[in-house]
């Protein structure tokens, strides 16, 4: 049996990341090395083993039969190694290492922003990397330890942990906009207003869901404008550009200061809570356990 060298171990990990990321360029971004250096490492691995692992084209990669067989062993081996390293945290006073989280912009502001400074103060040996991103991604392929999304868009094969209570969605506009806008007494009247639509992370435009008691209404209209960012919709509404539809907690400050007021305040919609989720192939890392525990102490609504 040939003995593994340091180069073999490093290159085998690169091999795993390339396959999980779906290509050399994405893997290089995750590993913070150049695609050419990564490609060179794979050529060296193939030469040392005397076996071709990839079918390469300009647009994609595909594993050879040998590569497929090696992948299964590599995944099992590194999962075992990572679990062993994570288990060492039991003997440390504080968790260590890099923790990468992919999070929706609303959740970043409402859940993570209030606690990040406290987390780094309590756990200085953990390096945090937070990617704020509303587009739907595969957190495993993109190299993240966990993600935070609304419960209804968490992939079914993930372990999910609820971070807050269901969230209330409301409509709001500036007092000056409402002063000069058409009459607004019922949801149907929204068709005569400047409504700011939202394109979600999956590329679809969200239709406003409204409820009042047992009454339900879904607004699909000719949106005055469509944005894919919460902050922009809020700022447009504050500048009298129309009506926005956002989480109540997200615009709490604007409502308190009066730059925005609720539109049709008896109408709103309770939506999914934020959930933290991670791969079911991994145990919960201690650094992630610590973050989850800290989040729960804040009792986010």
Would you state the structure tokens that stand for residue 217, as one six-digit string? 């209404």
The number of beta carbons lying within 10 Å of the beta carbon of residue 19 is: 21
Looking at residue 187, its pLDDT comes to: 96
Q: Alpha-carbon distance 237 to 268, whole Å?
A: 17
Looking at residue 90, its pLDDT comes to: 64
Contact 289, 99 (CB under 8 A): no
**Nearest-5° Cα angle at 300, 136 to 128:** 55
Phi, psi (5° rounding) for residue 223? Answer: -60, 135
Cα separation values, 138 from 146, 147, 157, Å: 10, 9, 11
Would you state the structure tokens that stand for residue 227, as one six-digit string? 């944005």
Compute the residue count for the chain: 301
Q: Alpha-carbon distance 265 to 269, whole Å?
A: 11
75-112 tens-digit pLDDT: 888 777 777 766 666 656 678 889 999 999 999 999 99
Would you state the structure tokens that stand for residue 246, as one six-digit string? 């956002």
Phi, psi (5° rounding) for residue 138? Answer: -95, 105
List the chain residues with pLDDT less than 70.
1-3, 57-60, 85-93, 299-301
297 contact partners, CB below 8 Å, separation of at least 6: none
Looking at residue 97, its pLDDT comes to: 86
Cα 192 versus chain centre, distance: 35
Q: Alpha-carbon distance 239 to 233, whole Å?
A: 10
What is the 3-state secondary structure of 55-74?
EECCCCEEECHHHHHHHHHH
């Amino acid at each position: 049996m040939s003995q593994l060298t340091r180069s073999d171990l490093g290159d085998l990990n690169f091999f795993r990341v390339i396959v999980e990321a779906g290509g050399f360029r994405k893997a290089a971004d995750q590993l913070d090395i150049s695609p050419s250096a990564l490609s060179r490492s794979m050529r060296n691995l193939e030469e040392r083993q005397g076996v071709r692992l990839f079918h390469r084209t300009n647009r994609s990669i595909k594993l050879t039969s040998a590569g497929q067989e090696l992948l299964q062993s590599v995944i099992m081996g590194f999962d075992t190694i990572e679990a062993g390293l994570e288990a060492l945290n039991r003997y440390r006073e504080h968790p260590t290492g890099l923790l990468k989280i992919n999070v929706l912009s609303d959740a970043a502001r409402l859940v993570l922003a209030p606690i990040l400074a406290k987390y780094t103060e309590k756990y200085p040996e953990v390096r945090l990397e937070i990617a704020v991103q509303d587009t739907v991604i595969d957190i495993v392929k993109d190299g993240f330890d966990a993600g935070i999304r609304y419960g209804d868009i968490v992939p079914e094969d993930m372990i999910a942990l609820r971070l807050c209570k269901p969230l209330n969605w409301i409509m709001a506009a500036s007092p000056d906009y409402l002063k000069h806008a058409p009459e607004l007494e019922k949801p149907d009247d929204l068709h005569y207003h400047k409504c700011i639509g939202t394109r979600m992370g999956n590329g679809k435009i969200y239709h406003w869901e409204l409820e009042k008691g047992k009454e339900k209404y879904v607004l699909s209209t000719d949106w005055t404008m469509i944005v894919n960012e919460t902050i922009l919709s809020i700022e447009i509404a504050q500048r009298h550009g129309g009506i926005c539809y956002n989480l109540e907690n997200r615009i709490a400050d604007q409502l308190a200061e009066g730059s925005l007021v609720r539109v049709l305040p008896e109408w709103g919609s309770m939506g999914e809570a934020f959930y933290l989720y991670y791969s079911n192939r991994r145990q919960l890392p201690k650094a992630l356990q610590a973050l989850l525990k800290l989040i729960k102490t804040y009792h986010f609504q």
